[in-house]
Amino acid sequence: MSWFTKTVFSTSVGRKVIMALTGLFLCTFLAVHLAGNFQLLHQDGGEAFNLYTKFMTSNPLIKAISYVNFAFILAHVVWGAYITYKNKSARSVGYAVNNPGKTSSFSSRWMGVLGTMILIFLVIHLKDFKMAYLGITKDLPMVTYTLENDEKVIVKDMFSEVNLEFHEPIVVGIYVIGMIALGFHLFHGFQSAFQSLGLRHPKYTPIIKTVGFVFWGLIPFGFAIIPLIIFFR
Amino acid sequence: MSGHMNLTLKVWRQKDAKSTGKLENYEAKDISPDMSFLEMIDVVNESLIKKGVEPIAFDHDCREGICGACSMYINGEAHGPKRAITTCQLHMRSFHDGETITIEPWRANAFPVIKDLVVDRSAFDRIIQAGGYVSVNTGVTIDANSIPIEKEIADDAMDAAACIGCGACVAACKNASATLFLSAKVSQLALLPQGQAERQIRVEAMIDQMEEEGFGNCTNTEACSAVCPKEIGQHHIARMNREFFGAKLSSPKK
Ligand code: HEM
Ligand code: FES
């Protein structure tokens, strides 16, 4: 094995770098994804959202980033599973009485379970929307929009599909639960990633904590509120 | 006697490393709240000896919080319910009359139980042997303060050097990770001029040794610092991580 693979596979600190870098990349992805999702709230019959969807699925740069994104999700899951397995096997006999709640946060102790909930959510999410958009599970109708420069574009009507799904109580429920899991995952995960990377200092750790609130609080809230607004609208 | 307490102890009893152990119940009668936790066990052991029962084996030495021997997981917490102390510094006034107290050994595959509450912590010694030292050629003794070190840096190094190797960090960590222990030594020596020569090979060798001993990965739950009798902070782990990345990118070792 080269020094690099040895570092990221067989040392605890190296493994955590993979978790931290993939995790933080996924965080930036979340921010961009949410900004896009807000197009759903325009009361324009879906024009803004459909044009945005077209852009996100055809722009070569965005497409390239989306492949990186899938690879990173996979790496994050594989490394996360390996770390969790390693850590479980470091203590075969547990305590008869244990009080971990007095010394560590709930989120930090349940990262593996929270991550698995997010993974299940992701599978459902991709099946519902990505596969529908790609024409695998559904044949979406086309719509034509006239742009400001009088150019006409024909795009898939993803909005009506999302709109339909977000009127299903079960789908909305799964979304809200998925986002609660994400919030807890990032409550620990976001700031933990900086610690894993060795970035801790009285100068900037307070900023990491503040920005962390955006990621564990505001962003999951934003994702969850959109299906709720559409459902009750 | 007024103010004295009667307690029920549930203690892990295990004949030797190969046997499977179990929790046994014992009565601790007429315990003074001024006793230390270890003195309470001494009293219980006296009564066990009188009854012809094998006394409870436990590690202890200094009984003043500096040797780190007294490893006990008490009511689900390393060194019991109080913070910044070892078991020998815990007093019975922290418990109440009639209470049931569960006492278990440190649990980690890297710390196998030898007998009852005594675990083998030589994995820590091997980690220190791997790199937690400075090599100094002997010669004339140099004056203690001949190397100037900034006060803040000396203080930070001293805080890290306060580690007594008790293993509470491993015991409390959900991953049985030795990262805080390791980071204390790496951080201390990285801060001081004496530690510079072996700075890079040290961190690599110690982290490799931790892996070999079967300790888990740090997931930053921070339980270790919470239970540390010397309150060694998380910033030492961050510093160790930085040391490690620096070493991986530039150490002479391939
Ligand atoms: C959008 C989705 C996700 C984001 C933004 C995310 C983000 C993060 C971040 C920032 C960390 C902290 C890394 C560190 O402590 O260095 C982390 C840790 C972790 N993630 Fe995720 N994650 C996501 C999805 C998942 C999924 C799907 C799984 C697994 C099935 C998962 C499993 C884990 C585990 C087990 C850890 C703990 C590892 C550790 O603390 O060492 N995550 N995640
Ligand atoms: S016996 Fe030495 S620290 Fe407790």
Check residue A69 and give its pLDDT. 97
The total of structural domains in chain A comes to 1
The tokens for B178 are 């030795």
Check residue B106 and give its pLDDT. 98
Check residue B48 and give its pLDDT. 98
Q: Which of B211, B217, B235 sits opposite A200 (nearest CB)?
A: B235
Measured between its terminal Cα atoms, the distance across chain B in Å is 69
Section A191-205 average pLDDT:
97
Sequence-ordered list of residues with C-beta below 8 angstroms from that of B42, at least 6 positions apart, any chain? none
The one-character DSSP state at B64 is: S
Does any ligand 2 atom lie closer than 6 A to the CB of residue B63?
Answer: yes
Please report whether residue A105 resides in a domain.
no
The tokens for B60 are 């202890």
Cα B94 to Cα B42: distance, rounded to the nearest angstrom: 18
Confidence of residue A148 (pLDDT cuts 50, 70, 90): confident
Distances (CA, A) of A200 to B163, B192, B235: 21, 20, 6
Cα A45 to Cα A53: distance, rounded to the nearest angstrom: 14
Interface test with B, best of A6, A24, A91 (most B CBs within 10 A): A91
Please report whether residue A148 resides in a domain.
yes
Please report whether residue A99 resides in a domain.
no
* CATH superfamily ID and name for B5-114: Beta-grasp domain (3.10.20.30)
Closest-lying ligand 2 atom to the alpha carbon of residue B65: 3
For residue A169, which of A227, A216, A118, A112 has the smallest C-alpha distance?
A227
The tokens for A46 are 């879906």
CA of B57 to the centre of ligand 2 (A): 15
Phi-psi domain of B2 (left: phi exceeds 0; alpha: psi -120 through 50; beta: other): beta
Residue B190, helix vs strand vs coil = helix
Q: pLDDT for A71-110, tens place per residue?
A: 999 999 999 999 999 999 999 999 999 999 999 999 999 9
For chain B, residues classed under CATH 1.10.1060.10 are 121-250
Kindly list the residues from chain B whose CB atom is less than 8 angstroms away from the CB atom of residue A86: 175, 216-217
Q: Please give the sequence-ordered ranges of beta strands (E in DSSP) within B96-234, or none if there are none.
A: 100-104, 113-115, 118-119
Q: Which of B216, B240, B244 sits opposite A87 (nearest CB)?
A: B216
Sequence-ordered list of residues with C-beta below 8 angstroms from that of B247, at least 6 positions apart, any chain? B199, B200, B201, B203, B204
| A32: amino acid identity, one letter | V
Percent share of chain B, pLDDT over 90: 93
Q: Show the domain range for A191.
A: 12-85+110-232
Tell me what the pLDDT averaged over chain B comes to. Answer: 96
| A220: amino acid identity, one letter | P
Asked if pLDDT for residue B249 goes beyond 80, the answer is yes
Section B35-56 average pLDDT:
98
Check residue B2 and give its pLDDT. 60
Please report whether residue A104 resides in a domain.
no
Per DSSP, helices labelled H in A111-218 are 111-125, 131-133, 158-165, 169-196, 205-213
| CATH of B121-250 given 1.10.1060.10, 3.40.640.10, 2.30.40.10, 3.30.930.10 | 1.10.1060.10
For residue B75, which of B97, B95, B101, B105 has the smallest C-alpha distance?
B101
Confidence of residue A11 (pLDDT cuts 50, 70, 90): very high
For chain B, residues classed under CATH 3.10.20.30 are 5-114
Cα B10 to Cα B7: distance, rounded to the nearest angstrom: 10
- The angle at the Cα of A133, spanning A129 to A138, to the nearest 5 degrees, equals 90
Q: Torsion angle of alpha carbons A210, A216, A221, A224, nearest 10°?
A: 160
| Torsion over CA: B139, B143, B144, B149 (sign) | negative
Tell me what the pLDDT averaged over chain A comes to. Answer: 96
- The angle at the Cα of B83, spanning B129 to A112, to the nearest 5 degrees, equals 70
Q: Is B245 on the interface with A (CB under 8 A)?
A: yes
Please report whether residue A98 resides in a domain.
no
Segment (H or E) for A69? helix A60-88
Asked if pLDDT for residue B1 goes beyond 60, the answer is no
The tokens for A226 are 């959109």
Asked if pLDDT for residue B157 goes beyond 60, the answer is yes
Q: Is A144 on the interface with B (CB under 8 A)?
A: no
Sequence-ordered list of residues with C-beta below 8 angstroms from that of B131, at least 6 positions apart, any chain? B198, B201, B202, B203, B204, B205, B206, B209
Does any ligand 1 atom lie closer than 6 A to the CB of residue A26?
Answer: yes
Please report whether residue A5 resides in a domain.
no
Cα B253 to Cα B198: distance, rounded to the nearest angstrom: 12
Please report whether residue A6 resides in a domain.
no
CB B244 within 8 A of CB A12: no
